[in-house]
Structure 1
Amino acid sequence: MRTTKDRIRHTLGFEIVGLLIFAPLASLLFNHNLLDMGLMALVGSLIATVWNYLYNLLFDHALLRLRGDVRKTTPIRIAHALLFEGGLLLLFLPMIAWHLGITLWEAFLMDIAMATFYLVYAYLYNLAYDRVFPLPFAPQGQAQG
């Protein structure tokens, strides 16, 4: 398992590097100034963080009430992920459209591009992070991670 210090370093690094890469790319791709795109990425990151906490708390309470158990089957995990992304889209989409003065459709396309970027980025960042900061040796019989 990673330490709390390592998890904080991972999280902060992920957000800072992601913002430094995404904002200039989005500025070029969507023809909006760097400040606007950086602000959108930063606010999106903050909204996603708060939504992640609240959503998972609510989802677990709902599972406990409906099923008496918070363990997730594969179909529940798929529904969990889709509902999370749908909720995030509903929270973030109107703000993108309003702040950038674009239509909801344009904001939707921008949001899809942002989600796609962060999906690929998360994979690459985590791969690089695990190579730069490998897990400490785990005694045989203990799973790492």
Structure 2
Amino acid sequence: MQGIKRRVVYVGLYELVAIILSAILLEWMTSAGAAHSIGIAIAASAVAIVWNLLFNYGFEWWEQRNQHKGRSIGVRLLHALGFEGGLVVFLVPIIALWLDVSFMEALVMDLGLLAFFLIYTFVFSWVFDAIFGLPAAVAA
């Protein structure tokens, strides 16, 4: 599977699991309740979908210009760090406004989610590639 179809399947599967897991984590981390946790998870997912499409397009563009084929652990770590780092920039204001907390409190909450999702992104991408294969640009 290649191109836009690959990106849509990747993002759809990634975000479906992410909504469920982040709602559970947010409810556990805050006293906001299930409704707020699910609402934030869905809002975060919408942001993440747009960011995921843009980031993965840019990341694969960057990969195409490299001489190396395949995805080493270092490249996978770079991918996960770049994606999650970008989400911090977008999600901290949403969490702060939604839960009516300071940006520092929202940052701490987001960092808790980041710690989990950094691992999740790394594992999900690896499993996705194992099941669906690498993008043509980096296939060995």
Residue in 2 that maps onto 1:113: 112
Pairwise CA RMSD of aligned residues? Answer: 3.8
Residue in 1 that maps onto 2:70: none
Distance in structure 2 (CA, Å) of the matches to 1:108 and 1:91? 11
Q: How has the CA–CA distance of structure 1 residues 39 and 116 changed in structure 2, closer, same or farther, with 3 Å as cutoff?
A: same
Residue in 2 that maps onto 1:85: 85
Q: How has the CA–CA distance of structure 1 residues 143 and 9 changed in structure 2, closer, same or farther, with 3 Å as cutoff?
A: closer
Residue in 1 that maps onto 2:9: 9
Verify the 8 A CA contact 2:95 2:106 in the aligned structure 1. yes
Relative contact order higher in (CA < 8 Å, ≥ 6 apart): 2
Amino acid in structure 1 at the alignment position of 2:133: L
Count of residue correspondences: 119
Residue in 1 that maps onto 2:72: none
Q: How has the CA–CA distance of structure 1 residues 108 and 50 changed in structure 2, closer, same or farther, with 3 Å as cutoff?
A: same
User: Rg bigger for which structure?
Assistant: 1
Q: How many angstroms does 1:91 deviate by?
A: 4.0
Residue in 2 that maps onto 1:47: 47
Q: How has the CA–CA distance of structure 1 residues 107 and 2 changed in structure 2, closer, same or farther, with 3 Å as cutoff?
A: same
Task: Flag structure 1 segments of 5+ consecutive residues without an equivalent.
Answer: 58-70
Q: TM-score when scaled to structure 1?
A: 0.60
Q: TM-score when scaled to structure 2?
A: 0.62
Matches within 5 A, 1:1-40: 2-40=2-40
Matched, 1:144 2:129: no
Amino acid in structure 2 at the alignment position of 1:36: H
Q: How many angstroms does 1:105 deviate by?
A: 1.8
Q: How many angstroms does 1:90 deviate by?
A: 4.7
